[in-house]
Chains A and B, each alone.
Chain A
């Protein structure tokens, strides 16, 4: 088929559910980081792919509120149950609750509840995510070998490193190499230059040196300069002229960051990574991709030999149940949603759901350990006015710096620290609560107070590694169904002391950092159990279809291929058998690329 070009009025070519082909090489369920990368890799190599997305079609070029101010939104843009991250956040039909699509909790204890964030839109959660893109390090793939806890991955850092390289080059990640332990450097040509530090970030960088805490440029998927469309495509797609041509064109379509607007709104100029601006346009340009939105997948369909034949789904627009066929099925619906599909794929042969001979589908779900603390930094009061928008999110972070101290810390794994600072666009937070500092004013003095305190607060958030445990899992609820009649998930959750002690350590560290800057911290939560965020709150949901070397102890192999059904793969975060403090998205993409390469090879060999 001819390569599609990118005309000015380019929008996602979509097909209705009635126009699907009789059969495809691969069906990809989900269009976020995992599904987007899978579809990209497969279509660039010529596979015919159908992508099914449960949410509606979404075009960030047309729909992103780039320069809209809070005053242009209802309630000055503040969070509501309809838009939990604020009015202008990119999320559509999503949040910790999706109307008509419930999930349940096995316990009423708030500490035992899991919060499940979903987005029902093309591109899924990649449209609003924080763009923090950190590589797992060598230790992170072999945690059990290091401390006897959790599981080792069946792959090492070296296995995934080439795919981290390619993913960074494709999506565009800024950052620097630190040379720090278990914080991998990227080869030359992978990372874009980091933006300069903002005032508060720079102050922290200097003041925390005496604490031995490294405040360094973070890695985020934002183009700080145009991508090198001349040289990168050949590195991404060697010996594939068509793919190189498409990749080059897609890179030219992306602008560099213009240092304004929050990344969580999405990016109409395609300067940051979201599946809808980076993965899907070139995948569609190959002519090898069909996308059906509003397709709520119920189950994987199987033949008499236990081989996947396709999927069944509900067309949300007509409420009709439909089936589509393919040689290979890839689930990338988000780790818990993929678990749900597997468990709902019941048959006489697979009474407990498909790919579940180990009984481990849904087990070992993980989130990131989160705790936070705010502080007031007097040095930032009355800061001379300047523009601190920057790259629409944090420019620095603190990578875990105490790998040598774990025997003294009382918890096994590390965390990194993310920052909130700067003179950002005012909303309902502007000058709210300054009575706490001024004693309470009004009139012209209040206006002076507002100018003085604006931008003088910083927030610190720890993001730490959770160890998989037996008490954190999901299963089908025996009675509850969603509005499509599909059984829903019931979650079980429990933090171990490794996580709560880590959260307590975070609190102590935040106070130290704030005080090193001459600031005053809010009262920290004395115990980690109070400080730790609920499971799922950080939206780093992984596990549930963990990979391993033993079919009895894992759901997928190192290629994210289910042990039981060789033409069924899971390329979202489900295959993670540990959840390092590094945010999972970059690793999801790198793993999806690696798995897709294997899938293509196996198809070529006739094994699939």
Chain B
């Protein structure tokens, strides 16, 4: 499951993926995640180097969004296929994730225009594939039909050659959906993050956690 093989993404991609994953655990002492940002010397027309850090931002506040209606419908449906409602949290679209993905692909920073191409091409592909198979856009398919398409593209390693490109898109879209979702209060609660509250003491691992680690 963890073994690198020739069907895996490039080495750089794996490194970025794990780097992203670790951002959730980032300590300020360790700065590797900033590497890609630092490599660009050109200042982008983004929020600038001295933005208001206290303010709450919404997608579209700093730069214009890109999705047209058709793209937004497809993105919303795919977000919810990836993160549907369950007994712990709502579906991704209920927490504004499609708007966040729009913000992401519309950002004026390096790398985002590549993601824009990947996402917009992928959304066009998934609607075309849905039309081909079922005569409807992806958003209008029934669950069984959506799943049939997702099954073909949700694993880059297992995807047939004709679905490799779509699988690459799916992987990117799933990472964006997860990042957008788990950073919301509902998503944080779902994944088991219970910090960001002031407490009088820090108690370390609970007895249950110590038992889980075999250190009780």
A485: Cβ under 8 A from any B Cβ: no
- B23 and A78 contact, CB distance less than 8 A: yes
Given contacts A73-B57, A97-B38, A436-B8, A425 and B199 within 8 Å (CB-CB): no
Determine how close the nearest CB of chain A comes to the CB of B95; give it in whole angstroms: 8
- A84 and B34 contact, CB distance less than 8 A: yes
- B1 and A427 contact, CB distance less than 8 A: no
Give the residue name and chain of the A residue nearest to B151 (CB).
A442
By a CB distance below 8 angstroms, the chain B residues around A390 are 202
Determine how close the nearest CB of chain A comes to the CB of B112; give it in whole angstroms: 8
- A461 and B30 contact, CB distance less than 8 A: yes
The A-B contact count (CB < 8 A) is 366
By a CB distance below 8 angstroms, the chain B residues around A437 are 1-2
- B82 and A446 contact, CB distance less than 8 A: yes
- A422 and B178 contact, CB distance less than 8 A: no
Contact of A93 among B8, B49, B171 (CB under 8 A): B49
B161: Cβ under 8 A from any A Cβ: no
B118: Cβ under 8 A from any A Cβ: no
- A429 and B23 contact, CB distance less than 8 A: yes
Q: Which of B8, B51, B81 has the most CB of A within 10 A?
A: B51
B182-216 to A contact mask, C-beta < 8 Å, 1/0 = 11110110111111111111111110111011110
- B84 and A444 contact, CB distance less than 8 A: yes
- B195 and A425 contact, CB distance less than 8 A: yes
- B209 and A258 contact, CB distance less than 8 A: no
Q: Which residues of B126-182 have CB atoms within 8 Å of chain A's CB atoms?
A: 147, 150, 154-158, 167, 170-171, 174-175, 178-182
CA distance A349 to B119 in the complex (A): 63
Give the residue name and chain of the A residue nearest to B52 (CB).
A63
Determine how close the nearest CB of chain B comes to the CB of A415; give it in whole angstroms: 14
A420: Cβ under 8 A from any B Cβ: yes
By a CB distance below 8 angstroms, the chain B residues around A538 are 31
Please choose the segment from A398-406, A449-457, A541-549, A561-569 that sits at the chain B interface, where 4 or more of its residues have CB less than 8 A away: A449-457
CA distance A441 to B20 in the complex (A): 18
B12: Cβ under 8 A from any A Cβ: no
B81-114 to A contact mask, C-beta < 8 Å, 1/0 = 1111010110000000000100110010110000
By a CB distance below 8 angstroms, the chain A residues around B158 are 439-440
The range of chain A's interface size is 35 or more
CA distance A412 to B131 in the complex (A): 66
- A394 and B29 contact, CB distance less than 8 A: yes
By a CB distance below 8 angstroms, the chain A residues around B30 are 372, 418, 420, 459, 461
A81: Cβ under 8 A from any B Cβ: yes
CA distance A337 to B37 in the complex (A): 23
CA distance A442 to B166 in the complex (A): 14
Determine how close the nearest CB of chain A comes to the CB of B23; give it in whole angstroms: 3
Contact of B192 among A78, A92, A93, A423 (CB under 8 A): A423
- A428 and B214 contact, CB distance less than 8 A: no
Given contacts A69-B183, A425-B195, A442-B81, A132 and B29 within 8 Å (CB-CB): yes
- A387 and B43 contact, CB distance less than 8 A: no
Please choose the segment from A177-185, A199-207, A495-503 that sits at the chain B interface, where 4 or more of its residues have CB less than 8 A away: A199-207
CA distance A374 to B30 in the complex (A): 12
Determine how close the nearest CB of chain A comes to the CB of B195; give it in whole angstroms: 4
Please choose the segment from A25-33, A161-169, A232-240, A377-385 that sits at the chain B interface, where 4 or more of its residues have CB less than 8 A away: A377-385
A contacts with B: majority SS: loop
Q: Which residues of B1-58 have CB atoms within 8 Å of chain A's CB atoms?
A: 1-2, 4, 8, 11, 14-15, 17-38, 40-44, 46-51, 53-57
Please choose the segment from A35-43, A261-269, A319-327, A352-360 that sits at the chain B interface, where 4 or more of its residues have CB less than 8 A away: A261-269
- B213 and A203 contact, CB distance less than 8 A: yes
B64: Cβ under 8 A from any A Cβ: no
Q: Which residues of A60-78 have CB atoms within 8 Å of chain B's CB atoms?
A: 63-65, 67-78
CA distance A372 to B37 in the complex (A): 18
Contact of A429 among B2, B22, B171, B199 (CB under 8 A): B22
CA distance A458 to B84 in the complex (A): 29
By a CB distance below 8 angstroms, the chain B residues around A93 are 49-50
Determine how close the nearest CB of chain B comes to the CB of A524; give it in whole angstroms: 12
B61: Cβ under 8 A from any A Cβ: yes
A302: Cβ under 8 A from any B Cβ: no
By a CB distance below 8 angstroms, the chain A residues around B11 are 523
Give the residue name and chain of the B residue nearest to A132 (CB).
B29
Determine how close the nearest CB of chain B comes to the CB of A273; give it in whole angstroms: 13
- B34 and A79 contact, CB distance less than 8 A: yes
Determine how close the nearest CB of chain B comes to the CB of A462; give it in whole angstroms: 11
By a CB distance below 8 angstroms, the chain A residues around B206 are 384, 386
Please choose the segment from A143-151, A190-198, A310-318 that sits at the chain B interface, where 4 or more of its residues have CB less than 8 A away: A190-198
Give the residue name and chain of the A residue nearest to B84 (CB).
A443
Given contacts A424-B24, A458-B25, A75 and B183 within 8 Å (CB-CB): no
By a CB distance below 8 angstroms, the chain A residues around B2 are 376, 436-437, 520
- A442 and B213 contact, CB distance less than 8 A: no
Contact of B194 among A385, A432, A440, A457 (CB under 8 A): A385
CA distance A16 to B205 in the complex (A): 51
Determine how close the nearest CB of chain B comes to the CB of A136; give it in whole angstroms: 18
- B17 and A99 contact, CB distance less than 8 A: no
CA distance A591 to B150 in the complex (A): 61
A88: Cβ under 8 A from any B Cβ: yes
Contact of A422 among B25, B35, B107, B199 (CB under 8 A): B25
- B38 and A88 contact, CB distance less than 8 A: no
- B209 and A430 contact, CB distance less than 8 A: no
Contact of B199 among A128, A132, A387 (CB under 8 A): A387
Can you sample 16 A-B contacts with CB below 8 Å? A76-B179, A78-B179, A81-B46, A87-B51, A202-B204, A261-B196, A262-B28, A393-B28, A421-B25, A425-B24, A426-B183, A430-B21, A436-B17, A440-B155, A440-B170, A533-B32
Q: What 15 new A-B contacts, CB under 8 Å, besides A69-B196, A71-B100, A391-B202?
A: A68-B54, A97-B38, A372-B30, A383-B209, A388-B195, A423-B195, A426-B179, A435-B155, A437-B1, A443-B84, A443-B147, A446-B83, A447-B84, A458-B25, A538-B31
What are the 3 tightest A-B residue pairs by CB atom distance, in nearest-first order? Answer: A433-B17, A440-B155, A196-B204
Residues of B within 8 A of A (CB): 1-2, 4, 8, 11, 14-15, 17-38, 40-44, 46-51, 53-57, 61-62, 81-84, 86, 88-89, 100, 103-104, 107, 109-110, 147, 150, 154-158, 167, 170-171, 174-175, 178-185, 187-188, 190-206, 208-210, 212-215
Residues of A within 8 A of B (CB): 56, 63-65, 67-89, 92-99, 102, 115, 128-132, 195-199, 202-203, 206, 257-265, 372, 374, 376, 379-380, 382-394, 418-444, 446-447, 450-451, 453-455, 457-459, 461, 520, 522-523, 533, 537-539
